Structure formats: C-alpha cells, structure tokens
Structure 1
Amino acid sequence: MTTLNSTYAKPFLTVPEQIRQLRGRGMDCGDDAYAAEVLQRYGYYRLSGYWHLYRDRPVPPAPRFDGEGREIRLETFVAGTRLVQVVSLYEFDHELRMRLGDVLSTVETAFRFFIGHRLGRVDAFAHRHPWALGATRQEDPSAPPEPTTAHREWLEEYDRHEQRARGDFVVHFRQQYGPHLPIWVATEVMSFGVLSSLYDLMLQSDQEILAARFQVRTADGRGDRGALGNWLNDLRNVRNICAHYGRLWNRAFDVTIDAPGQARQDADDLLAPLADDGTNNRLYGMLLVLRHLMLSIAPEKDDVVDLADFIEGKSRTVGFGMEQLGLPDGWRSSPIWDRAFALDRLPMVAASLLDRAECMTAAETRASLTGAEVIDEKRIRTPAQAARAKKAAQGSLLRTYLKHDVVIEVELGGTKFYPAFQFRDGKIVDALAEINQALARSCGGSDLTDVARALLNWWQTPHPDLPQDVDGSDRSPLDLLGSVTEEEFAAVIDESDARGSFAVSDLG
C-alpha cells in the first residue's frame, strides 16, 4: 500500500453536502435543483476560485495577511453572496478564454511562419544544424565546434514532437523524402513552447530582425530580442491556461511580461504600462502585447479591441472590477485602443525585404569591398596603418555608392543592410549600379524603404522580354545577372523592354 506524503484531511462531500456547506457559510444557492446542476456541471473546486473574493475578511485586530504576505480569507461569505453571481463570473471567464484563445491562435500561427521563414532562408533543416542557429561551442580550438547543451536538449524534445506527428502533410513528407521535416513544416508540428525555445536558440541578428519587424525596440531603437523572447514565453503560458480551462479573471500570471527597452525609457510609450507591477503579470498586460502584435500581423483586425470591449461590458453586467484583470484607470485614453490606430508599416516592409534576399550589414558590406582603392597607395605604411587605410577606403566607397543612389539599402531597427547580389569581385556590379541609379531616381521623394522594395521587385520578378531559362520559364533580371557576364547582362537589358516594367506606382 502506498503511503501518501500529504496532510490533507478534508472529507469527501456529496453534491447535497456541498450545497449544505455553502449555505451554512452564508451563500444563497437558490433552489437545490439549480445548485446541484451547476455544481455537477462545473465542480465545487473549480467554482471556488470564483467565490474566493466573496469570502469574509478577518475583523480587526485579527491579522489580515499571513506570514507570507497573502491575504487571509475566512470560510464564511460576505452577506448577499449568491451562487448565480459566481456562476455568471465563471461563464464570463469561460467566454473570455474562448475569445482570447482565438487571438492567441492567430498570433501563434504567424510566429510559426516568421520563425520558420527566417531560418528556412539559411537551410531547409536549420533547426537541426546548430551552426545555422549559432548554437555551437568550441572549447578546443583544434577540434570542430560542438552543439550547445541547450540545442541538444531542444532537439531531443523536438524529435518527440516530430515522431508523434501524424497529419496528412507529415505523412506525405515522410513518404516522399524521409523521416525528418524541413523547418517550414517542422514549425507546424512543434508545440508553442518548443517554438519559443527555438527562437531563443536563433542567431542574435535573426532575433533582433524579428523583434524589429514587430517594433519591439530597445532604448536605442534596435529590435529588443530579449523582450520578444519573453513575450513568446508569456504567450505560451497564457495559451496553456486557456487550453486547460484555467482562470483568467483575478489572476496573477506566474510569468512576468517584460517591457521593451524603449517602453521602459519613455513613460509616454504605448507599451510603458508593461513596466508597472500591476500590469505586467495581469491580463491587461497580455492584451497590450496581443494588440501590439496584431497591429503587425493582421492590422485590419480589431479582435483585441473587441476583447477589451467585451471585458468592459461584462464588468457592468456581471459585476466585477476592471482592476481585477489589471486594467488601470484611464486605460481607454491610450491611442493603442483606438480602432483607427496603426503602427508604422515601414519596419514590416523592411523585414520582408530581408527575407527575400541574402543581405549583409554595413560592416560586412564595407569588409567585402576589397576593390576599394586606397588614396596615395604607394605611400609606405606599417601593416596596421595599411589596414586602417584600406578600411577607410572601403567605408568611403560605400558612402559614395549611397550618395549616387547606386546601391539598394534596407534599414531596420537602426541597422542598415545591403542585398549581397549587388556586389561582385570586391565592388558593386557596374551594370547593376547604373540600373539602380536610374530606377531609384525615378521614384521622386518616396521613402527609402519603399524604393528598396520597388527595386527588389524589379530585380526579382521574371520578365518575358528576357532570355528564357533552359526549362522555358521566364527569367528575372537577377536570374540573368547571375548567369552571364556583366557585359552580356548590360547588352541584354539595353536591348529589351525590361526597365519599362519598373512600377513606381507600387510604392507605398
């Protein structure tokens, strides 16, 4: 016989005994049939979380808090407490879970795409390759890098999810290609917790790009990767509460929501309330996070505003305080709850451009410009002086490219990126530079991000006037550039009407 390690000694109560106990403690339970129906439908223990606030407090001078700072509540109920009111509160919370779950599903689905898409551009199986994630360590310089413990443990957990997956699309992949799934399929079979951990393993630069896409910013404007990682964990936590029918009303969450660096620095920032202890572990904090994310994911949808309206309406009809869900006085005055409010679209556009082409940072681009000519090259210099002179020449060359509008530049989160296809043999491709300059200058005063998008659209879109590929399909200017010499490329473009397809009207 198993010996239980528990001090619990309360007796089992039948439903009629539960009703008698509630009445004996001062609750109006209505008639026996109603009370029995709701107790059998929802359960005494589940409902107890909703009648807790209706229990009496100790009368002074008796202590109101225990030794751990928790408020003491007596077994008896405040006069006038009714079971029907408790049930209304439970049913409100149930509907709140359902509505919140729908919003969480939209956000979760989007992050499955964005994380998988960001990694997929590097390698179809990036999640299995620690080098693609930056999840390696090298204690011995003479030995090859090894996966980090975090990646090994993550992969073991992910493999359990992959092996259990039985969807039609999974069966198709296994039959066609083998047991393992590419990242864009893998993100569909892993739990949200495993997905959140995968984000934590990604390269810092990739994390920052994703955070900047969603305008989760540090104090200096970069993507706040730590805050976004925290948000993913918070989303997982609340999703699990919803999935397991947990209580949202009057609940302090176990996981505290981080305010991004910019919001901590600026009290007027829309997300500044996340720095408050009364918000960052309550439902209002999660609503702020969801509203902010949905403004990037599906800006045309007002689901989170609808949810806030629902809570406000039910607070009047059911009878609970908005502060019990963390909503502060004056919360409506924040512009984020205006249905017409919108986030800046340009970070979303810029991030999508970084997904479309391999890009280098400004530092990486300068370092790649090995063809930059040093002024007074014949001057005798020490190796250190020569290195500095070369670095200065490379920086000067990139500035010259930018001054003359010959290079595509994408800025996101304060970091500037340059599509790598623009450079060959240590300098810009001359034929490309001439085209970029002419097309860019035809854009007038358009925003640089929109100009970059229009240029990438032109370079990457197949054009019927260009020579076809070997399989008979149309080729884009970029396809052509990668398959012929610069001279041949320039001649073909000049002879065709390809430049005429540049769509300035698509800007903005």
Structure 2
Amino acid sequence: MTTPNSTYAKPFLTVPEQIRRLRGRGMDCGDNAYAAEVLQRYGYYRLSGYWHLYRDRPAPPAPRFDEEHREIRLDTFVPGTGLAHVVSLYEFDHELRMRLGDVLSTVETAFRFFIGHRLGRIDAFAHRHPWALGATRQEDPGAPPEPTAAYREWLEEYDRHEQRARGDFVVHFRQQYGPHLPIWVATEVMSFGVLSSLYDLMLQPDQEILAARFQVRTADGHGDRGALGNWLNNLRNVRNICAHYGRVWNRAFDVLIDAPGQARKDADDLLASLAEEGTNNRLYGVLLVLRHLLLSIAPEKGDVVDLADFVEEKSRTVGFGMEQLGFPDSWRSSPIWDRAFALDRSPMMAASLLDRAECMTAAETRASLTGAEVIDAERTRTPAQAARAKKAAQRSLLRTYLKHNVVIEVELGGTKFYPAFQFRDGKIIDALAEINQALARSCGGSDPTDVARALLDWWQTPHPDLPHGVDGSDRSPLELLSSATEEEFAAAIDEADAIRSFVVPHDLDRGNACE
C-alpha cells in the first residue's frame, strides 16, 4: 500500500454538507432538493470553476495578489450570488464547448489532409524517412546523417498511435500491405498533438507553403511557418480541453497565440488583435484563428460567426462580460466578422497547383537552365567571372520566357514557382513553349493564378484523341510529352487538335471549351 505524496487535508463533504458550506459562505442555493440535484449532476469541484469569479476580493489595504501574482479570492461570495446563475454559466459553457469542438474538428480534419498530402508528394512513407522532413543532423563530416532527437521522440509517440489503431481502413492496409501505414493514412490515426508536431518537423519550404496557403504571413509576405505551427499547438490545447469537458468560459489558455508577422506590422490587419495581451490567451483569440482558417478551408461555412453571435447573446441573457473571454470593445467593427467577408482565393489555389506538379523556385529554375548562352562567350574570363556571366545568362533567359508567356508560373507567399516538367536539357521544351504561349494569350487579362490553373488542367487532363498508353488508357499531353520526342509530341497534338480542348479561366466554372 502506498502513501499519497500530498499535503491535501481538506475533509470529505457529503452533498448536504456541501450545501451548508455554500450557504454559510453567502451563496443563494435555492431549496435543498434543487441544490442537491445540481451538485450530484455536475459536482462541487467542477462548478467551483464557475463560481470562483463571484468570490469576494480582500478589502484594502489587504494585498489583492499573492507572491505568484495570482489574484486572491476569499471563501465568501459577493452579495446576490446564486447557484442557479452558476448553473446557467455552466450550461452555457457546455454548449459553447460542444460547438467549439465541432469547428475544431473541421479544421483538424482539413490539416490531416493538407499535411499528409504535402508530404505524400515526397514519399508515401515520408513520416518514416527523416530526410524527407529535414529532421537529420550530421555530427561528423564523414558519418552518415542521423535522425534528430526531436524526430526520434516524435516517431516513438506516433508508433504508439499506429499500433493502437484498429479502424477498418487500418486493418485493411495491414492485411494487404504490412504493419506500416502510408502518410495519407497515418495522418488519420495520429492525435492532433502528434499531427501538430509533425508539421514542426517538416522542411521549411513545405511549412511556408502551408502557411501561405492559409494566408498566415510574415511581415514581408511569405508564409509565417512559426505562427501557423503555434496556431496548431494552440488549437490542439483547446481541443483537448473540449474533449475532456474542461471549462472554456473565462479561461486563460496555456498556449499563447502568436500573431503572424504581417499582423504585428500592420495595426489594421485582420489579425492585429492577436498581438494584444488579454486576447492572445482567451476565447476571442481562438475564435479569430478559427474564423481565419475556415475562410480558406470552408469559406461558405459561418460556424465561427454563429459561435461569436451565440457568445454575445448569452452574455446578455446569462449575464457575463464579453471582455472575460477576450473580446475587445470594437470586435464587431472588424470585417472578418461580416458573414459576407471572403479572403482572396488565389493563395489556396496556388498551393493546390504546387501539390499537383513538382515545382522549382525561381532560383532553382535559373540554376537548371544550363543551356543559357553567355553573351560574348568567346571572351576570356576568370572562373569567377565565367560563373557570374553564366548566372546572368540564366536570369536573362528566365526573364525572356516570362516576357513571352511561354512558361507556367505559380506565385505563392511572395515566392515564384515553375513546374519542372517544362524544362529538358537545360532549357524550356520548345514544343511546350509554343503551346503555353498560345494558350496563355487566349486567356486575355485573367488572373495569373487562374491562368496557371487552366494551363496545368490542360497539360494534366487525359485527351481521348491522343495516342493511348500501353494499357489502352487515355493519356494527357503531359504523359505524352514525357514519353515522346518533341517532334512526335508536336505531331500528335496537331493531329488530335488537342489545343481546342483548352478551357479559358473565365469559363472554368461553366466548362466551355475555347474555340
């Protein structure tokens, strides 16, 4: 038999004794039957979190805060405190928690997809390959890279989740393929905490792409990967509180919310209030983060606005201050709480395009243009001068491609990307360039991201009149390009008149082909 290591010495109280104590401290408990029913249904300790705010403060000159800067509350209650009011607060908080949990579920489900999908392009088992996450270190120059301690700890925790998983889809995968799950299945068996930690392990460019997708921006417009990682950790914490029936009303959350760099820089930014103390650890900050994320995930859903309206209504009928939940006085004036408000859809679309094709940054693309011709190539140069001349030629060649609209460009978070399939032997594929130019010109003044999507759609969509694959299936222009010479490709495109299947951006939703 073990002895508890605790100094707790308060006596056990029966329910009648609990009622007598509350009355003795000044709470109106109603009749005994009502008070007993309430205490047996919810519990004295659970309800104490809701009546704590109504306990008396010390009268001056007694100190108001203890040595750890916590506000001191006395055992007695302020006059007029009633158990029925405490119960109404608890029941409001219960509904708030349930509705908040539903919204959190929508966001969590979306991030399971987006993280798994981004990593899946690298490798089906990217989570089991630390090199795919950039989670390696090399202590000695001659030694092979080793997984980081953070990755080893993460994998140990994930393995426990994978081994405990018993869903039908997990059983199917194990029976068909073995014990380990591919990343797009693995994300479904992770806890939100393990998923959040996986994001923290991802390569920096992948983190930035995900942050830019959700318009979580640094001061210079790039994806703020640190802020998004913090948001996921905060939402994990709130989700766990909701899942374990913890109090949300009048709570200071343990994980402070980071304001993205852009919000810290611009006081008029939609997320600027996240930089304010008293908002970044309260419910309002959580709702603001959820509203911003859902505007990208499910822009048609007004669940978070409904939740904010619900809190405002209950503040009047139940009786509590909105400031207790971190709502600033002017919160209603922010356009983000307008039901008709919408974020720019281009970043979400651009990120989806990067998921569809292997892409290179502008710097990587320039470096790949080894076929760029140096001006005055016969001139004698030092190795350093020759390297600079080559880089200048590569920059000039990419600018030329862009000027003549022969290359697909996707811009996200201030970074420009180029699908790698457009280049071969150190330069753009001529037959591809001619097609890109013709298709891009037919788009007129459409949004650049819409044009990039339309071009990728044409390249990646199977065409019935192109030469079939070895299995008899229809092939896309891109599949044909990868398996044929330029001459064979150009001839097949002309014979099938495949360019006529291109859909200009403003017709994408209507499905009309370009004539």
What range describes the TM-score normalised by the shorter chain of this pair? over 0.9
Instruction: Find the aligned partners of 1:87 and 1:314 in 2 and give their Cα distance.
Output: 13
Structure 1 position 506, deviation (Å) = 3.5
> What is the Cα deviation at residue 414 of structure 1?
0.3
- Kept in 2, the 8 Å contact 1:451–1:507? The answer is no
- 1:258-317, CA deviations, whole angstroms, 9 ceiling, x for partnerless residues? 000000000000000000011000000000000000000000000000000000000011
Question: In the alignment, what sits opposite 2:288?
Answer: 288
Q: State the distance in 1 between where 2:221 and 2:508 align.
A: 25
Higher mean C-alpha displacement, 62-71 vs 23-32: 62-71
Q: Name stretches of at least 5 consecutive residues in structure 1 with no aligned partner.
A: none
Is residue 271 of structure 2 the alignment partner of residue 278 of structure 1? no
Distance 1:44 1:506 in 2: 63
CA offset at residue 3 of structure 1? 3.1
Deviation at 1:52, TM superposition (A): 0.5
Counterpart of 2:104 in structure 1 is 104
In structure 2, C-alpha distance between the alignment counterparts of 1:479 and 1:2, rounded to whole Å = 70
Give the corresponding residue for 2:306: 306
1:507 Cα offset (Å): 4.8
1:427-466 Cα offsets, whole Å, 9 max, x none, are: 0000000000000000000011110000000000001110
Query: Counterparts of 1:466 and 1:392 in 2: how far apart (Å)?
Result: 39
Matches within 5 A, 1:56-455: 56-455=56-455
Structure 1 position 497, deviation (Å): 2.1
**Deviation string, structure 1 residues 217-267 (Cα, Å, up to 9, x no partner):** 000000000000000000000000000111111110111000000000000
Aligned to 1:466: 466
Q: Determine what percentage of the aligned residue pairs are the same residue.
A: 90
- Structure 1 residue ranges, 4+ long, deviating more than 3 angstroms after superposition: 505-508
Matched residue SS, 1:416: strand
1:18-63 CA distance string (max 9 Å, x none): 0011011111111111111110110000000000111111112222
Query: Could you tell me how far 1:71 is from its partner in structure 2?
Result: 1.3
**Following the alignment from structure 2 to structure 1, what is the Cα–Cα distance between the partners of residues 377 and 507?**
45
CA distance in 2, matches of 1:241, 1:262: 29
User: 1:258 is paired with a residue of what secondary structure?
Assistant: coil
Secondary structure in 2 aligned to 1:65? coil
Aligned to 1:499: 499
* 2: CA distance, partners of 1:348 / 1:3: 57
For the 8 Å contact 1:454–1:506, the answer to whether it is kept is no
Task: Give unpaired runs (5+ residues) of structure 2.
Answer: 510-515
C-alpha separation in 2, matches of 1:60 and 1:131: 62
Deviations 1:134-187 (A, max 9, x none): 111112222221111111111111011000000000000000000000000000
Q: Give the match for residue 513 of structure 2.
A: none
- CA RMSD between the two structures: 0.8
TM-score, length-normalised on structure 2? Answer: 0.98
Q: 8 Å contact 1:27–1:83 — kept in the other structure?
A: yes
Of stretches 213-222 and 70-79 in structure 1, the one that deviates more from structure 2 is 70-79
2:479 aligned residue: 479
Q: Report SS of the residue matched to 1:150.
A: helix
Opposite residue 180 of structure 1, the aligned amino acid is H
Residue aligned with 2:483, SS: coil
Letter in 2 for 1:415: T
Distance 2:70 2:37 in 1: 33
Equivalences, count: 508
CA distance in structure 1 between the aligned counterparts of 2:427 and 2:139, rounded to whole angstroms: 37
User: Could you tell which deviates more after superposition, 323-332 or 100-109?
Assistant: 323-332
- Distance (whole Å) between structure 2 residues aligned to residue 72 and residue 94 of structure 1: 27
Q: CA deviation at 1:5?
A: 2.7
Equivalent-residue separation in structure 2 for 1:87 and 1:36 (angstroms): 13
Q: Per-residue displacement from partner, 1:391-448 (whole Å, max 9, x unpaired)? A: 1101100000000000000000000000000000000000000000000000000011
CA–CA separation in structure 1 for the residues paired with 2:222 and 2:63: 49
**Aligned residues of 1:465 and 1:498 also touching (Cα < 8 A):** yes
TM-score by length of 1: 0.99
Mean alpha-carbon deviation: is it higher for 302-311 or for 322-331?
A: 322-331
Q: Does the 8 A contact of 1:116 with 1:183 survive in 2?
A: yes
- The 3-state SS of whatever aligns with 1:482 is helix
CA distance in 2, matches of 1:476, 1:449: 21
2:426 & 2:142 partners in 1: Cα distance? Answer: 31
Q: Which moved more, 1:74-83 or 1:304-313?
A: 74-83
Q: Matches of 1:146 and 1:57 in 2, distance apart?
A: 57
Query: How far apart in 1 are the matches of 2:394 and 2:297?
Result: 39
Moved more, 133-142 or 389-398: 133-142
Q: Deviations over 1:106-143 (max 9, x none)?
A: 00000000000000011000000011111111122222
Letter aligned with residue 244 of structure 2: H
Q: Which amino acid aligns with 1:488?
A: E
1:2 Cα deviation (Å)? 2.6
- Give the letter aligned to residue 312 of structure 2: E
